[in-house]
Amino acid sequence: MSRYAVNSLLYRLKKEPEFRARFQADAAAALTGIDLTEPERAAFVAHDMRRINELGGYLHLVMSVPGLAAH
Amino acid sequence: MGKIVFAGAMSHVLDPDYYQRACGDEGRRMVTDCMTEIARMGERFSATRADALIVVADDHLNAFSFNAVPALCVRIGTSVQRMKQDHAEAFDAVLDHMPEHYPLHEDLANQILEKGLGSGFDLAMSWEAPVDHAFLSPVNTMHGTRPIPPLVPIWVNCFVAPQPTPKRCFDFGRHIARVVAASPWNVGIIATGGLSHFPELSLPRVGETDTVFDRKLVHWMERGEHEPLQELTVGELHKTGEHEFLNWMVLIGAITPARAQVRYFGELRRINLAAVEWSLA
């Protein structure tokens, strides 16, 4: 588990609308080249914010990424 | 000789629509009641005609990316802008209707920063960081349509471990008190966030609070018993969802040994809402 990898990715998804749009169109492709473990990658591809939170994603990010947020 | 003329602490998502969505009619009613008390606190603050308002709050991973996360950071410069978030959701949407720019009290901020570095507080500084709802929701609720005095925003890292200890935050508050006392300004100070919510920052536990722990904190604040507060640990705050009480610890250090008066305390499933004001001599 990489707290930095998971959270810096969440931060990009929140703050970079173009990256977010690419992710929403094809998550696996958008994550190409990003250093994630397989469980982390699977959670992001599934848009599974609960799992991302379990893997170290900070709560306030998983609750506030536009279009992907868990409430 | 300067003086702290007002001190208050309060929850910082002050939006009836947010709580309607999160908690239904009960949420709307309770946050509206809490906001009414905070607005009254704002009237009392405005009556002091203070030169500045120090706002101690936290960043919700908005202002500071994972490039760097300061333990304690002073916003310097001449003005600060509110955070902008496209397609804002949840607590971020609270900001959308608020003014975009706020003046800063540059001299007071610089003195807190420079005298801090000179006396053992290795503070971070920022010229650019925007402020989110943690700062602006209380400030705007307090002031309504009245003018807002120059602000001194100060961030405490409440969420990204390792955080500063409650004792360290208290000691930083003592530093702020010394700076104000040596200055020519009358100053208000508020701390925001809480009380108990989001224990362990765990998504499945959103909706849990620790009211027993809240009441213990309130009891100590009302009695002016600040020693046990300084003995709290970051681990305790994390477990009980009291992360943002670190902001309150800075304020308590600034006004110790003053006693608190609870203006509002309300238990919601999602968060215990609170508004507290200190009696200053």
Distance of CA B183 to the CA centre of its chain: 22
Terminal Cα-to-Cα distance of chain B (whole angstroms): 15
Q: For residues B183 and B112, is the Cβ–Cβ distance under 8 A?
A: no
Q: What is the pLDDT of residue B104?
A: 98
Distance CA A8, CA A57 (A): 9
Inter-chain contact A11–B198, Cβ cutoff 8 Å?
A: no
| Lookup: tokens for B249 | 């610890």
Phi-psi bin for B206: left (phi > 0), alpha (psi -120 to 50), beta? Answer: beta
DSSP run (H or E) holding A6: helix A3-15
Residue A9 sits at the chain B interface (C-beta within 8 Å): no
Q: What average pLDDT score do residues B244-267 get?
A: 98
Asked whether residue A1 carries a pLDDT value surpassing 70, the answer given is: no
Measured in residues, chain A has a length of 71
Q: Name every chain A residue with its beta carbon within 8 A of the beta carbon of B86.
A: 17, 66
CA–CA separation, B141 and B192 (whole Å): 12
Greatest CA separation found in chain A? 29
Rg (CA), chain B: 17
Q: Which amino acid is at B13?
A: V
Whether the CB of A33 is below 8 Å from some CB of chain B: the reply is no
Give, as one character, the DSSP assignment of residue B151. Answer: E
For residues B138-149, give the mean pLDDT. Answer: 97
Give the confidence band of B90 by pLDDT, cuts at 50, 70, 90.
confident
A64 in contact with B, Cβ within 8 Å: yes
Looking at residue B65, its pLDDT comes to 87
pLDDT in tens, B194-228: 999 999 999 999 999 999 999 999 999 999 999 99
**Per-residue pLDDT, B269:** 86
Split at pLDDT 50, 70, 90, the class of B120 is very high
pLDDT at B215: 97
| Mean confidence (pLDDT) of chain A | 94
Average pLDDT, chain B: 97
Q: From the CB of residue B47, how many other CB atoms can be counted at a distance below 10 Å?
A: 10
* Closest by Cβ to B66, choosing from A4, A64, A66: A4
pLDDT of A71 over the 80 cut: no
Per-residue pLDDT band at A70 (split at 50, 70, 90): confident
Contact of A6 with chain B, judged by CB distance below 8 Å, is answered with no
pLDDT in tens, B12-25: 999 999 999 999 99
pTM (predicted TM-score) = 0.97
Q: Which residues of B touch A47 (CB under 8 A)?
A: none
A14 lies within 8 A of chain B by CB: yes
pLDDT-derived band of residue A69, with 50, 70 and 90 as boundaries?
confident
